[in-house]
Structure 1
Amino acid sequence: MSGRGRRAVPPPPDHHFAPPLAQDGLVVTVVNKAGYKQEFDFAELPVAEPMQRSLAAVFATRSLRWTSHGTADNNWTKLLLFSRFLSGLERPPQDLDELTVAAMQKWRDRQIFTNTGRATLMVVRTLLQEDARLGSGPVAEELARRVPAPKPSKQSYEEAERERVRLAAQRQFRSVWMRISENTALLEAWRAGDTAEGSREWVIGRALDHLARTGDLPRTVHPGGSTTVANRRILGRSGIGNLWGRLYPTRLELTSLAVLLSDRFAWNLSVYDRMPTPTAGPSAGETTTVTYQVQVEKRRKGSGRWFDTENITDSGADSPGRLITQALEVTAHGRALAARLAPGTDLLMVARSSHTEPSHRDTDRPLPVDPLVFGVSEDDAKRWAHSHGLKGSPFQRARRTAVTREGRPLQHAQGTHESVYVLPDGRVQRESRDVFEAGAAEALEQAEAVVFGGHIADQADPDHEETATVDCEDETTSPWPAPEGGCGADFLLCLACPNAHVHPGHHPRLAHLLEQLQGLRSALPDTPWNKYWRDSYLRLEDLRNDNKKIGPVAWEAALARVSNNDRAVVQLLLKGALAP
């Protein structure tokens, strides 16, 4: 079975695989997923013919993994740059086996300092490593040097910027949604016979029926062959919204929908070219909500992992699924017309073009079905931004903003989420300062909490009970009560207890204990040391270093008074023999 559940079938008997590299060894044909072919003539590269053939061979080998002409064009452009670099050397190599480490280092130095250059280095390296002659040796080692990943050039929107983009798209899309909804209601009333024949509504309804079936309004043919829209006075004399725009969105209006979808769901611009119409079903246990299954295509994941399905629920005006409902309503007539003109077509993002489409240049995108176009192109995105006084296509920044706002991976891996979207983003960095500050304060508080928790006394109190490390004021109020009553704390934990009292009689034993813990610190790995001894060590350090408690001078003097009994007790403590 295929990744989408279709049963695999064998190819026809006359099928044969055409290798991408032509017999002359200089022309490579790349076939994209849609079956279109594009040729790349390596005789155009400004290098010697043996080098042209070798580059064509590695390009052809690599092309077997590509599914788009965009990828092929990108690799071709990078190889062209590399070829121009080689031709500019004092002694240009005639073939790949003549590449030198010095030449490759010079190539690297020219490219390494910019995002575009680093991307070029990675593409060319991947292609060259397909040649067996560069599988080992000094040049292979130079190719294997790490190339820093390009730094993301786009930043997420500040809230005011995002609001400006979102409101521009929202106003435009709401306008087209209301226009098409009103005309759809009028069309349905005409088809149901609810309009009086000959009335203005009846004339418009009849024109809308023709528009829905053909994609254009009824026209009057004049003697010279020119045509004009019939009933133009009734329909309205100006604006697409009074003509075919009554039932179809324009390309820029469809782009406004895509901007809203990216802002809400963080979808890439390329997703809209091939997004199937979402399927709907009632939500479990609900009668007033509907849940859409939306199929999102992510080709960079690799063959067999392209499709993700997202469940999006429309449960009211502010719910995420309401935008899907409105998108279905705005594109309904376009999708129905596309299915009639090209049976089997089922794409959500469809618009009517205001002119006949030129020859289809981007073969990675769906073919137009005149007068309909599908998806949103880079040019559409730039024209939409320009029409609203914005700089550049909004899609990358809108996606980045949605991802950082959501705070979790959306159609990408956790590593990509952190390294590409979160860590380099200026807005995230600024908003994280308070979090980092709070974390640092909490860490300081925790560090400061590992101190002696009891009281310092000048002499022993006969009412206190002596333990292995301190005198205890009241074991019945211990912070660590035993199940059977009394104190359940280890004697080392007495150093953290508010009931503990330390007087000069304890100083020698505590000083010797600290010396022994210092010896353990040098002998034990970090994990067991931190688990068993670190806190006790810090509390003893607190007693030694704080002049208001014991202080360094009294501590050094106490070391001279350590008795054999102190040594024996400390030895038992370290062995755990005195644990409760």
Structure 2
Amino acid sequence: MTRQGRGSTGQGRRSALPAADYKAPALVHEGASGGLVVDFHGEDGRRGTFDVGKLPLPGWHPLLAEAFAMRTGPGGGLRTLSGAQNRWLPLRRWTDFLASLDPQPVVPAQLTRYHVNAFHTRTDSAAGTRQRDMAELQVLFGQEKIRDQIPMEARDAFARRLPGPRTNPEGGYSAGELDRLTAAAREDTARIVRRIRTGEELVRRQQDEPEGIPPQQQQLAQVLAEMAETGEVPPGTGIDQWRERRELAAHLFLTWSDLPPLMALLAIATERNGETLKELPARHRLLENRAVEVRLVKRRRGADRWFETVTWEIGTEGRELHTPGGLYLLLLELTARSRAFCGSPSALCVWRNGHRVHARGTRHEHYAPFEADLRAGGQLQLSTWAATRTKPVLADPPAPTERAKGQENALPSVEMPLQVTFNKIKTSVDARRTRQLGGHLPSSAKSNTAQVLYTPTVIPSGSTPDQLTGSGLAPGTAHDLAHGHLDTAWSACGDFQHHPETGKPCGDSFLLCFLCGNCLITQDHLPRLLALLDTLGRLRQRMSEEEWWKRYGLVWVAVRRDVLGKFTPAQVAQAQKEQVPDALLDLVEAPWETP
């Protein structure tokens, strides 16, 4: 085949075909150590190797290698390297568990119902981990060519019904927290831009007018000009040589420590998730110098919906840090030299201190950190950046407890650094966009009247009448709320007879309660709310992204941003342990409309 990569076929263009004697390489083969190895070639262009020979119980290796190769092969459901790596972990835990038993089922034919049940009920793993492991093993050993190699009683044990995955929803930031985070990311990014542009100006002067450089900067200018030409950073001296090299490289190149504020600001400006930002391409198209067109990778949307072309506003000169297009072009400017030296098509290319990869002092210290593995983002440590900068980014102080109210000598609340994650940023900017557009997300096309995104009244401190009265509710309302007399499907309604917009009895769907000022939520409602989020999450996998946002996006944003963020992690964790009935979506949707 002479053409490679996506886009090599299209309408009116004949498909590239292999030669007549072509044979596809075997996905399972013998590795250098003599054990079986499974090769993975992902649709995201990344490759990996999984060494089955390093697992315990050699009698299981042929079956496991065949099963995993089918799971990750062309007909399997895993299309990315990160997905394959995540599914490899349950397989490792399965073999480690079997190897710990006495006696061991050394071959698949010896597997019994007892072994499967014991793995599912083991006590050394969290409930969520056990559930995910069992769900993956059901798929792995349920494949047509694999299931007949497992004894019948073990297959029956694997066939148990598992409850839907319990998610751990992350609420978003308050308006103040998001503003402080944005200001900090913008300030630090501006500092990075000034630093690199100053270094570039010194290189330009060294090349064009060296006689005009001040004497105290002449040596630095010569070193930077050499670095700009070769990409090689001179070695440092003494015990601080690594710090010296980092500081010297930072004059011209983006470094790993620059990524947290820059990527946080990208997430805020572009309203995209972390995975998409890590795969930002350098290739783009300018539209009359007013906007930039970029083709993004969109994961989790099915095999045929991996890409989306977006158009980002550039804005006026000097406002690059405030617009998605301006920030994207600024990123390309900051990474241009490293990208040229490493030859990557990625927008995110940085310089690293290469002593750990035996590339010290060479141009191989320039690389695209997320090109081979998106999991490199685990080292970004956004929260550490926010907490350790000169002026830390702080979270809102917690609301005073009932006991502390009215006590003059109560201890002041401790200022806590803000916990920064891409998920919380995405949730927050979704909520902000919803408010700015009067209740509509950009992809939403709701046909009913515009909804104003009210903030529901959330009372996280307790559910007794006294606690509810202390939160500002009238005694009668507090009594009815505490005894469940005001409950609807997932929350409670403080005044069903008077809608905030119309003043008339409410006729809206229960899903719109979260956008209503009459909505009341206490800790007792948490289990039902979490069940609703779980159901919406499963529907998101079955529906198109546009249709899902149209029908459920406002609810999802309101619950995650305005409700869950008011409860502590301990309260959410406790609610997740409670068994709840079905999410009751059939109460708010006609049967023929249910996805």
Q: Work out whether the TM-score is over 0.5.
A: yes
Distance in structure 1 (CA, Å) of the matches to 2:153 and 2:457: 41
Distance in structure 2 (CA, Å) of the matches to 1:59 and 1:448: 54
Pick from 266, 270, 287: which aligns with 2:275? 270
Question: How much identity, in percent, do the aligned residues show?
Answer: 15
Residues 465-505 of structure 1: CA distance to partner in whole angstroms, max 9, x if unpaired? xxxxxxxxxxxxxxxxxxxxxxxxxxxxxxxxxxxxxxxxx
Q: Which moves more between the two structures, 402-411 or 174-183?
A: 402-411
TM-score for both structures, normalised by structure 1: 0.57
Distance in structure 2 (CA, Å) of the matches to 1:411 and 1:44: 48
Distance in structure 1 (CA, Å) of the matches to 2:142 and 2:424: 34
Pick from 65, 77, 94: which aligns with 2:89? 77
Q: Answer yes or no: is the 8 Å Cα contact 1:251–1:352 preserved in 2.
A: yes
Q: Answer yes or no: is the 8 Å Cα contact 2:290–2:313 preserved in 1.
A: yes
Cα gap change, 1:196 to 1:400, in 2 (>3 Å): same
Q: State the shift of 1:253 in Å.
A: 0.8
Q: Answer yes or no: is the 8 Å Cα contact 1:180–1:248 preserved in 2.
A: yes
Pick from 42, 64, 70: which aligns with 1:61? 70
SS in 2 for 1:370: helix
Cα gap change, 1:291 to 1:320, in 2 (>3 Å): farther
Cα gap change, 1:308 to 1:273, in 2 (>3 Å): same
Question: Which residue in 1 is equivalent to 2:326?
Answer: 325
Pick from 90, 109, 118: which aligns with 2:131? 118
Residues 299-342 of structure 1: CA distance to partner in whole angstroms, max 9, x if unpaired? 43344432222211022466887354345335536424532x34
Cα gap change, 1:247 to 1:84, in 2 (>3 Å): closer
Q: State the shift of 1:429 in Å.
A: 8.9
Task: Give the counterpart letter for 1:73 in structure 2.
Answer: Q
Cα gap change, 1:385 to 1:409, in 2 (>3 Å): farther
Pick from 20, 23, 29: which aligns with 2:27? 20
SS in 2 for 1:85: helix
Cα gap change, 1:437 to 1:313, in 2 (>3 Å): farther
Task: Give the counterpart letter for 2:260 in structure 1.
Answer: T
Alignment coverage as a number of residue pairs: 407
Q: Answer yes or no: is the 8 Å Cα contact 2:254–2:334 preserved in 1.
A: no
Cα gap change, 1:307 to 1:199, in 2 (>3 Å): same
Task: Give the counterpart letter for 2:185 in structure 1.
Answer: A
Task: Give the counterpart letter for 2:248 in structure 1.
Answer: L
Q: How does 1:505-524 map to 2 (within 5 A)?
A: none
Unaligned regions of 5+ residues in structure 1, if any? 220-225, 230-237, 284-288, 361-367, 415-426, 450-525, 527-580
Question: Which residue in 2 is equivalent to 1:295?
Answer: 295
Question: Which residue in 2 is equivalent to 1:41?
Answer: 52
Distance in structure 2 (CA, Å) of the matches to 1:331 and 1:388: 27
Q: State the shift of 1:291 in Å.
A: 0.9
SS in 2 for 1:261: helix
Residues 348-376 of structure 1: CA distance to partner in whole angstroms, max 9, x if unpaired? 1122223435279xxxxxxx962213246
Pick from 154, 168, 171: which aligns with 1:155? 171
Task: Give the counterpart letter for 2:272 in structure 1.
Answer: W
Q: How does 1:318-397 map to 2 (within 5 A)?
A: 322-329=323-330, 331-332=332-333, 334-339=335-340, 341-343=341-343, 345-358=344-357, 370-375=364-369, 377-382=376-381, 385=384, 388-389=387-388, 394-397=421-424
Distance in structure 1 (CA, Å) of the matches to 2:70 and 2:443: 28
Question: Which residue in 1 is equivalent to 2:309?
Answer: 309
Q: State the shift of 1:127 in Å.
A: 0.8
Residues 46-91 of structure 1: CA distance to partner in whole angstroms, max 9, x if unpaired? x471x33322221121121445544333323211222333345566
Q: Answer yes or no: is the 8 Å Cα contact 1:254–1:350 preserved in 2.
A: no
SS in 2 for 1:38: strand
Unaligned regions of 5+ residues in structure 2, if any? 10-14, 371-375, 389-416, 446-454, 461-487, 508-586, 588-595
Distance in structure 2 (CA, Å) of the matches to 1:118 and 1:409: 36
Distance in structure 2 (CA, Å) of the matches to 1:208 and 1:309: 37
Question: Which residue in 2 is equivalent to 1:520?
Answer: none
Distance in structure 2 (CA, Å) of the matches to 1:101 and 1:186: 72
Q: Which moves more between the two structures, 242-251 or 429-438?
A: 429-438
SS in 2 for 1:246: coil
Cα gap change, 1:31 to 1:14, in 2 (>3 Å): farther
More contact order relative to length (CA 8 Å, sep ≥ 6): 2
What do you get for the CA RMSD once the two structures are aligned? 4.7
Cα gap change, 1:325 to 1:399, in 2 (>3 Å): same
Task: Give the counterpart letter for 1:44 in structure 2.
Answer: L
Task: Give the counterpart letter for 1:18 in structure 2.
Answer: P
